[in-house]
Amino acid sequence: MKRSSMIFLGATGLLIAGAWLGRSGGPVSDTDKAEIYESLSACVTANAMTRDQCESEFAAAQEKHLKDAPRFPARAECEAQYGSGQCQPATIAGTSYFLPALAGVMIAQRLLGQRQPQALLPPLRAQQTCAPGFTPATQPGCVVPRSTSSTSSSGAGWRSYTTAGGSTVSRDASRSGPVTVPRTITTGRGTVPSVSTSPTTSRSSTVSRGGFGSTARSTSSSSSS
């Protein structure tokens, strides 16, 4: 056959030659079930691992966090990205920084006890906040901010996190059990620092924009051919 045997599209689902499945189907193997624990005691209580294993996973996550989390010279710059009260001082190789807090630890179920956790950070303020009455389940991609003074009921009961790779993960904290996330989030990210995309410094005040795109506006033509 000189054509694709299978096509997967987010909007349409999985299409297979000889049997178009329409809107049914879905990703076959690109997701992982993962546990998220916000504290050592939550890990122990969940009983998926022994206390020793929980301690070991949290220690590994702490190490990763210090290595991979974005570093800011001042608390204000860190909080500008992660929100008020979400940052803490740290001294790394003799230099003082502010880092976003370690908000949780994520472990793929298939990697439980193998010291390959992902350190989770608070959600980025730049991410879209869930609208009132909505949760990440009903408004995919939105985040529930961690503000201590939040009066909004949006995302009630949900918790959002950012990975070191810049992906957003949310879960319904009123329910126990794993979340389903793209496999890229539970693997690659933390171990491939060269492709980490998290901002390593606050750039908000020093970024200029609009330096691309002017030709498209000045010719009425499409940029493609």
- Using CB under 8 A as the binding rule, whether residue 140 contacts another protein is answered as no
Among residues 6, 41, 44, 39, which one has the least CA distance to residue 25? 6
| Interface of this chain with another protein, residues 64 to 93, rule: CB under 8 A | 81
125 within 8 A of 77, measured Cβ to Cβ: no
- Using CB under 8 A as the binding rule, whether residue 210 contacts another protein is answered as yes
| Interface of this chain with another protein, residues 100 to 119, rule: CB under 8 A | none
Strand (E) or helix (H) holding 140: none
State the residue for tokens 């949760």: 135
- Using CB under 8 A as the binding rule, whether residue 24 contacts another protein is answered as no
Q: Sign of the C-alpha dihedral, residues 133, 138, 139, 142?
A: positive
- Total residues interacting with another protein, rule: CB under 8 A: 61
- Using CB under 8 A as the binding rule, whether residue 177 contacts another protein is answered as no
- Using CB under 8 A as the binding rule, whether residue 124 contacts another protein is answered as yes
State the residue for tokens 């950070």: 121
Q: How far apart are CA 67 and CA 190, in angstroms?
A: 9
Residues that bind another protein in the complex, under the rule CB under 8 A: 1-12, 15, 17-18, 20, 23, 27, 30, 81, 124, 126-127, 165-167, 182-185, 187-189, 192, 195, 197-200, 202-204, 206-217, 219-225
